[in-house]
Amino acid sequence: MCLGIPGRIVEVTDPETMTAMVEVGGVRRPTNICFIVADDTPPSAYLGEWVLVHVGFAMSLIDAAEAERTLAMLTELGEIQAEIDAMQQSNEANFSLRGTDHGHEVCR
Amino acid sequence: MAMKYVDEFRDPDKARTLVAEIRGLIPRIPRAGERPLQIMEVCGGHTHAIFRYGIQQMLPEEVEFVHGPGCPVCVLPMGRVDDCVAIAERPEVIFTTFGDAMRVPGSQKSLLKAKAEGADVRMVYSPLDALAIARKNPGREVVFFGLGFETTMPSTAMTLIQARRAGQTNFSLFCNHITIIPTIRAILDSADLQLDGFIGPGHVSMVIGTRAYDFIARDYHKPITVAGFEPLDVLHSLWMVLRQLAEGRCEVENQYGRIVPEAGNARALAAVDEVYELRPFFEWRGLGSIDHSGVRIRDAYAAFDAERKFSVPNVVVADPKACQCGEVLKGVIKPHECKVFGTACTPEMPLGSLMVSSEGACAAYYSYGRRERVPA
Amino acid sequence: MRRLIDEVFVRTFDNAALSALEDQATIALSELLAHGDRLAFTTDTYVVDPLFFPGGDIGKLAVAGTVNDLAMSGARPLFLSCGVVLEEGLPVETLHRVAASMKQMADRAGVKIVTGDTKVVERGAADKMFINTAGIGVVPAGISISAANARPGDVVIVNGVLGDHGTAILIARNQLSLEADIESDCQPLDGLVAAMLSSCRNIHCLRDATRGGLATVLNEFAQSSNVGIRISERDVPLREEVKGACEILGLDPLYLANEGRLVAVVPPDGADAVLAAMRAHPSGSSAAIIGEVTDERRGMVTMQTIFGGERIVDMLVGEQLPRIC
């Protein structure tokens, strides 16, 4: 329960009611940002920020660094996996090479 | 042009990486050898993502998703739909609602049918849109059907706060908000279930934080990972839960850190607290009555409470006898194991709301995957 | 009053057959036989709400829609009829606008509206305006297009981005407050089809993806031909704004209506030529191959998702509604 979409605050249309224009893939919608604006901070301070929008309200400020960390971790995981696969394939190739050429030596 | 924070989390290369990692973990989980691991995803949005992207088929057969009752449309009792229809059919009322609720069957009809028969039922995207309708129609009574978990409560609460500030007396809310924690507890207390871990509701958590789930790990000894809704988030979270099982850990982990703060959203929680209070108990379709699982509007906002403004039938309507919605909602049986799946209950002629809701497990099974009934 | 309404249409559509004010239009058979050897005949009734929306109106739809139904058989569209039911109280100005729009589309498609009728019913008996158009066209000899013709190995092609019309209507109809540069894609497709047939006479299937969208057409082909159809989500062209609107509202673009988009199933040896012909035509500049016909899972449509998994693309039940879950 659930449908939330990341969008960017592109305009503050009414600081009194905390209404801003948020853009998602080229589509704009009036969005209430009262839940993400800190006390004593003007709404305009959030221009350009990315937020999670649910039924016309911004519910969370997206932590860009955290997003980057998650993706980077997964990328690294993929790279490690690829390395292991490559090593494994090369080991298998070596083993079978020795096996066919010097079968009697393998058991030494 | 990519959609930021969306497309990166749909990356098939990273998907392949995670599937390989998951395969690697299986042998390290002792239980996985005896029977498939049952990981429950509570939230309807996760059910939808799993089916829409075909995630279950990507996984080894030793891991199975169990679809939980975290779909506020699916658990809407027929009696409440009847109440909505009763309000909507009053000539002075403009009844506004999210799209999801319009097709849920009541004992006589759905809101969509009521609309076809002349009731002024309008679909809106935001409760603020409903408030705007009230502003533009001073001579009419505008009622908004508030459903959803804690994700949506702050938004409807803030709408009522704004309505009161503006003195918008022709606006009221018909409150059907439900809470997630009692739901999860009811699942865990259920005798017929064998769950190994949980994929936690990411958007509920951005409001309530992650500490609310501590009891799952502490008292029930099940690992839980709070998950985002893009397919990569779901796979990543599954991997994290399986890793906990492999390492013998039992914790609350947060996969969705880019959006979910551990402490939740204080401002949102404050709005909820100002407007709502817990009901002693609330009725759920298929699951019966669960204590403290629903909220109602506080006395301070009584003037905006549709339940007090309008008298409604308020009848508890039993589900059709053939319905096995409760068992599906609890994950005891899979949709295609229900006696009426695909025969008496189809998207065209739904017996229950799980076949109607776009994230209902039955609708998902029917549309995206299996069609044939399989005996349980 | 009645005369006034008739005059609006007769004067706006402005052709000899209509202006003769006979009870019927007569067309020489020889005129028809000049174009081919079979008559194509279709009808459709248009009840869209709202009447006017970004990129079009009910009149434009009523002409283009019927022209396209004819074009999907390979026919050259020629003549249309136009029957209108008006709700009492509809402003005459609205009538003028709709009629002018119909004339504009008819000229663009090279068809004449040669006969028609108008009726006024009391308030509440109709929703503003309903238009029925019937159309006749002629199919050239040797052209045989049918939903039952798809064969394993065939290639599935669409002529451009999908979902514009459905999204535009949804936004126009509801209080969704979305600001988006999304317009209906309503356009006549007969010129595009002619270009496609010139490059490959043996096109197997053609259908415009109107109500129910791409997914519905593919399912119709799969069932009529008893074949499987497999598409790739990555290859389905979508405008960025339609993607954004769908994400916000929770809609699946595969099911959104189009009014200027066709789905073609083409034998593999003709695919390159058809694609090139489409891309060279203004109505097909973004044409793309999106999938193929298989002999597995006959009667069903499956899609490889951008994530790497696979799912079934089912027939739609009812109307797609925005969701919050």
Which pLDDT score is estimated for A108?
Answer: 39
Beta bridge partners of B348: none
B368 and C310 in contact by Cβ < 8 A?
no
For chain C, list the domains and their CATH numbers.
Answer: 2-139 (3.30.1330.10), 155-312 (3.90.650.10)
CA-based nearest residue to B350, from B256, B260, B285: B285
* Residue C53 token pair: 């929306």
Pick the CATH number of B7-71+193-254 from 3.90.1510.10, 1.10.3720.10, 3.40.50.11750, 2.40.50.140: 3.40.50.11750
pTM to 2 decimal places: 0.90
Alpha-carbon span C270 to B173, nearest angstrom: 60
Looking at the DSSP assignment, which residues form a beta bridge with residue B252? B224
| pLDDT score recorded for residue B374 | 46
On chain B, the residues whose CB falls within 8 A of the CB of A17 are 162
Does B78-180+265-309 match B7-71+193-254 at the fold level?
yes
Q: Determine contact: C125 vs chain B, CB below 8 A.
A: no
Cβ distance C324 to A26 less than 8 Å, yes or no, reads no
Chain A CA closest to residue C177: A29
Does the distance separating the beta carbons of A24 and C244 come in below 8 Å? yes
Residue A108 lies in a domain: no
Residues belonging to chain C: 325
**What chain B residue is nearest to C233 in terms of C-alpha separation?**
B53
Whether A15 is in a domain gets the answer yes
Residue C28: predicted pLDDT: 94
Contacts of B125 in chain A (CB under 8 A): 29, 55-56
DSSP-assigned letter for residue B20: H
Contacts of C181 in chain A (CB under 8 A): 26
Task: Give me the tens of pLDDT residue by residue for chain C, a chain 325 residues long.
Answer: 567 767 888 889 988 888 887 888 999 999 999 999 999 999 999 999 999 999 999 999 999 999 999 999 999 999 999 999 999 999 989 999 999 999 999 999 999 999 999 999 999 899 999 999 999 999 999 999 999 999 999 999 999 999 999 999 988 887 688 988 899 999 999 999 999 999 999 999 999 999 999 999 999 999 999 999 999 999 999 999 999 999 998 899 999 999 999 999 999 999 999 999 999 999 999 999 999 999 999 999 999 999 999 999 988 777 777 777 6
Using an 8 Å CB-CB cutoff, list chain A residues near C248.
5, 7, 24, 27, 29, 53
Query: Cα dihedral sign for C59, C63, C69, C71?
Result: negative
Sign of CA dihedral C226, C232, C236, C240: positive
CA distance C303 to C306: 9
**In chain B, what is the straight-line distance between the N-terminal and C-terminal CA atoms, in Å?**
46
Please say whether the structural domain B78-180+265-309 has been given the CATH code 3.40.50.11740. Answer: yes
Asked if residue C74 lies in contact with residue C193, where contact means CB atoms within 8 angstroms, the answer is: yes
Residue C36 contacts residue C75 (beta carbons within 8 Å)? yes
CB pairs under 8 A between A and B: 129
Do A57 and A83 lie in a common domain? no
Whether B123 and C240 lie within 8 Å, measured CB to CB: no
Please check whether residue A24 lies inside any domain of the structure.
Answer: yes
Range with the lowest mean pLDDT among A16-20, A93-97, C159-163? A93-97
- Domain residues of chain B, as ranges? 7-71+193-254, 78-180+265-309, 325-367
Contacts of residue B264, Cβ cutoff 8 Å, sequence gap at least 6: B205, B206, B207, B208, B209, B210, B212
> What is the spatial distance between Cα C256 and Cα C209, in angstroms, rounded to a whole number?
9
Give the contacts of C256 (CB within 8 A, at least 6 positions apart).
C162, C163, C165, C166, C167, C213, C242, C246, C320
**Considering its fold, how many domains does chain A have in total?**
2
Segment (H or E) for B67: strand B63-70
pLDDT of residue A98: 59
What's the Rg (C-alpha) of chain A? 27
Tell how far CA C32 is from the center of its chain. Answer: 24
Q: What torsion do the CA atoms of B366, B369, B372, B376 make, to the nearest 10 degrees?
A: -90
Same domain, yes or no: A10 and A44 = yes
CB atoms within 10 A of CB C291: 24
Please indicate, yes or no, whether residues A80 and A44 belong to a single structural domain of this protein.
Answer: no
The answer to whether residues A58 and A15 belong to one domain is: yes
Residue A88 sits in the same domain as residue A44: no
Q: Which residues of chain B have pLDDT under 70?
A: 1, 358-359, 369-376
Do the Cβ atoms of C175 and B124 come within 8 Å? yes
In the numeric block, the tokens 């951005």 are attached to: B206
Strand, helix or coil for residue B336: helix
pLDDT value at position B129?
95
Greater confidence (B290 vs A76) lies with: A76
Chain C residues with CB inside 8 Å of A2's CB?
A: 324-325
**What are the phi and psi torsion angles at A49 (to 5°)?**
-75, 155
Complex confidence, ipTM: 0.92
Q: Is there a single domain that holds both residue A48 and residue A94?
A: no
**A1 pLDDT above the threshold of 60:** no
- Tell me how far CA of residue C161 lies from CA of B373, C64, C105, in angstroms: 37, 18, 21
C-alpha span between B47 and C119 (Å, rounded)? 50
Query: Within 10 Å of residue C40's Cβ, how many Cβ atoms?
Result: 20
CA distance A1 to B151: 7
CB contact, 8 Å: C305 with chain B? yes
CB-based contact, C250 to chain B, within 8 Å? yes
H or E stretch at C10: helix C2-13
- Cα three-residue angle C321-B202-B247, rounded to 5 degrees: 140
The pLDDT assigned to B173 comes to: 98
Q: Is residue A17 part of a domain?
A: yes
Query: Does one domain contain both A9 and A46?
Result: yes
- Residue C7 is predicted with a pLDDT of 80
Interface residue C179 vs chain B (CB under 8 A) = no
- Enclosing domain of residue A34: 5-62
Identity of the residue in C174, C177, C308 whose CB atom sits nearest the CB atom of B58:
C308
Q: Which residue of A has its CA nearest to C250?
A: A3
